[in-house]
Amino acid sequence: MQAHLIPPDIPRSIFVYFRGLFYDVGNDPEGGYYARGARASVWENFKDNPLFDISTEHPTTYYEDMQRAVFCLCPLGWAPWSPRLVEGVIFGCIPVIIADDIVLPFADAIPWEDIGVFVAEKDVPKLDTILASIPPEDILRKQRLLANPSMKQAMLFPQPAQSGDAFHQILNGLARKLPHDKSVYLRPGEKILNWTAGPVGDLKPW
């Protein structure tokens, strides 16, 4: 991803961008009704809409194109999650999340409600109206948040690991599931989690 970064001053001339399957007759147990019909609805409603740059083709300029887009569609696939969520955050393209049952990662580090747009699967036919009605100042605010380096850092796995990266987000999420008192959780603004502050019994090997 880092190798595909383009200069930040290149304008975002694509309004809505998506590359991926809309139907999957060969593998879909529901006979082509892929992703509960949400993806098919995107294609059927917007394939000829000039605001939508959507296709099943996956060009070599895919990452560069995302950086030229204002909105990147992130519809569910076989599961609610999509790799496009990560790609959208990394490339500053506002993710349009179309997945009713999704549980988003790293909510402590990434304010999904502030950086993304959530559209119910049943509302896909109104997608053009929903996105076109978002005020420009709201779009700019989301783009400024997406430009925050800490937000991109939280989605990546650099080698070696770095503070605040996705590896640390996973560890922090796992720590919250431990049977510890709330006093040992990492609070907003804190940098180091006290792993030994819980009951002695919790420190025994599993």
The rounded mean pLDDT for the chain is 86
Instruction: Give the DSSP per-residue string, 101-116.
Output: T---S-TTT--HHHH-
Q: Per residue in 17-29, is it b (16+ CB within 10 Å) or e — as a string?
A: bbbbebbbeeeee
84 CB neighbour count, 10 Å cutoff: 22
Q: Is 192's pLDDT higher than 80? A: no
Q: What pLDDT score was predicted for residue 189?
A: 76
Query: Which domains are present in the chain?
Result: 14-149 (3.40.50.2000), 157-198 (no CATH)
Q: What pLDDT score was predicted for residue 78?
A: 78
φ, ψ dihedrals at 56, nearest 5°: -85, -15
Identify the band that residue 173 occupies on the pLDDT scale cut at 50, 70 and 90.
confident
Q: Is 181's pLDDT higher than 70? A: no
Q: Is 103's pLDDT higher than 80? A: yes
3-state secondary structure of 128: helix
Identify the band that residue 206 occupies on the pLDDT scale cut at 50, 70 and 90.
very low
Q: What is the pLDDT of residues 74-102, one digit of tens each?
A: 999 877 778 899 999 999 999 999 999 88
Q: Is 183's pLDDT higher than 70? A: no
Q: What pLDDT score was predicted for residue 25?
A: 72
Q: How many CA atoms lie within 13 A of 5 on its CB side?
A: 10
Q: Is 148's pLDDT higher than 80? A: yes
Distance CA 187, CA 123 (A): 37
Q: What pLDDT score was predicted for residue 193?
A: 60
Identify the band that residue 53 occupies on the pLDDT scale cut at 50, 70 and 90.
very high
Q: What pLDDT score was predicted for residue 5?
A: 86
Residue 109: which residues within 8 A CB-CB, separation 6 or more?
150, 151, 154, 164, 169
